[in-house]
Amino acid sequence: MAGIYFHIPFCKQACHYCDFHFSTSLKYKEELLLALKNEFIQRKNYIESSTIESIYFGGGSPSILKPSDIQTLIDSVHQFFDVASDAEISLEANPDDLYSEKVKGFKNTDINRFSIGIQSFFDEDLKWMNRAHTSQEADACIKRVQDAGFENITCDLIYGFPLLTEDKWAQNIDTLVEFDVPHLSCYGMTVEPKTALAKFIKVGKTAPMSETQAAKQFIQLIKKLEENHYTHYEISNFAKNNHFAQHNTNYWKGVPYLGIGPSAHSFNGSSRSWNISNNALYIKKVGNREKYWEEEQLSLYDRFNENIMTSLRTMWGIDLNTIKTKFGETYKNYLLKEAQPFLAKKHLTSKKNTLKLTSKGKLLADYIASELFLIE
Ligand code: SF4
């Protein structure tokens, strides 16, 4: 089992909160597509040849590309790997890119899942975020994608920013519930350094994010979605009728993946690597077969901590038998000892040899994980 990730580093405009790697110029688009194909050939052996269960186009905005460009990349994967017949093949898309012709075009590709960046159904919020789409486009694109026969859809929403009242947040969630979207990813607004948002807060143009508001809206989200039969299977992810995201779940379960494109990360079980975050340099180095990535061998501490961080955030929790098998009895006992204060405060439960977050614990997931980490 393994996954392939393609990073498409282009966006129409820069969202104020975003610190992903992308360029708003499509100047090197053709060269970049060629470099992606070449990198795939050059680095395919980073992961052991195994069946590919998930192909994911992220970014950036992959929906900016022509469907035929996306299919060419999918074809390259088929050329070198066995792709499972039921593989999840996802594409991140922005509402303004999902016009009729484009959606029809994607129907002729192997894409079988859309991840749509809605973020909010209110124009004032979209403007504040500097998103390229309008609320009307957000609404229309979901319908268009569903009408075209795509059933496997996930939508992103953001909460915890100054303009978002509880009433608006409830309406955003309700809209997706009414559309019967089977998967939602919902993120609290974070302020990353060097973003426009960080600058606006610094100069007083916008209020800072409130942790209290984010916590309230997170609780509101869980309640609403659980009432509507969504399973809260990871801190930021909710699915109906087992529409769990294969790509994300593999990542949380430590399945190897090969990341292609500028800034893409890869993981093969024993090491992690990440590509340079510069389109022009990436294209040049791939073309010259120079090294364009950095790599680190993961220590036992790294692997242990990563395992804790990713599994604690999921509904499956930390399986103590897995910890014992992978790291040994001493580490399992260490973990149980460190978990005691959180078990006492009912932030964690321990059942059937598994540690899981309680509802209270979900609000402190990252803090609890960091307290369970091994420190070198
Ligand atoms: S569309 Fe996505 S990747 Fe592009 S700037 Fe906005 S948040 Fe970042």
- Interval 211-250: pLDDT, tens: 999 999 999 999 999 999 999 999 999 999 999 999 999 9
Task: Categorize the per-residue pLDDT at 113 as very low, low, confident or very high, splitting at 50, 70 and 90.
Answer: very high
- Say how many Å lie between the CA of residue 329 and the centre of ligand 1: 44
Return the CATH superfamily for domain 2-252: Aldolase class I (3.20.20.70)
Give ranges for CATH 1.10.10.920 in the chain: 300-372
* SS3 per residue for the chain: CEEEEEEECECCCCCCCCCCCCECCCCCHHHHHHHHHHHHHHHHHHCCCCCEEEEEEEECCHHHCCHHHHHHHHHHHHHHCCEEEEEEEEEEECHHHCCHHHHHHHHCCCCCEEEEEEECCCHHHHHHHCCCCCHHHHHHHHHHHHHCCCCCEEEEEEECCCCCCHHHHHHHHHHHHHCCCCEEEEEECCCCCCCHHHHHHHCCCCCCCCHHHHHHHHHHHHHHHHHCCCEEEECCEEECCCCCCHHHHHHHCCCCEEEECCCCEEECCCEEEEECCCHHHHHHHHHHCCCCEEEEECCHHHHHHHHHHHHHCECCCEEHHHHHHHHCHHHHHHHHHHHHHHHHCCCEEEECCEEEECHHHHCCHHHHHHHHCCCC
Does residue 49 carry a pLDDT above 80?
no
Give ranges for CATH 3.20.20.70 in the chain: 2-252
Which of the listed residues 18, 127, 191 should we mutate to test ligand 1's pocket, taking the one with most ligand atoms within 8 A of CB?
18
User: pLDDT at position 7, please?
Assistant: 98
The mean pLDDT value for 34-53 works out to 94
Which of the listed residues 6, 15, 141 should we mutate to test ligand 1's pocket, taking the one with most ligand atoms within 8 A of CB?
15
- Interval 356-368: pLDDT, tens: 999 999 999 999 9
Task: Categorize the per-residue pLDDT at 31 as very low, low, confident or very high, splitting at 50, 70 and 90.
Answer: very high
- Interval 280-311: pLDDT, tens: 999 999 999 999 999 999 999 999 999 999 99
- Interval 123-138: pLDDT, tens: 999 999 999 999 999 9
Which of the listed residues 20, 120, 156 should we mutate to test ligand 1's pocket, taking the one with most ligand atoms within 8 A of CB?
20
CATH architecture of 300-372: Orthogonal Bundle (1.10)
Task: Categorize the per-residue pLDDT at 50 as very low, low, confident or very high, splitting at 50, 70 and 90.
Answer: confident
- Say how many Å lie between the CA of residue 372 and the centre of ligand 1: 33
Full-model pTM? 0.96
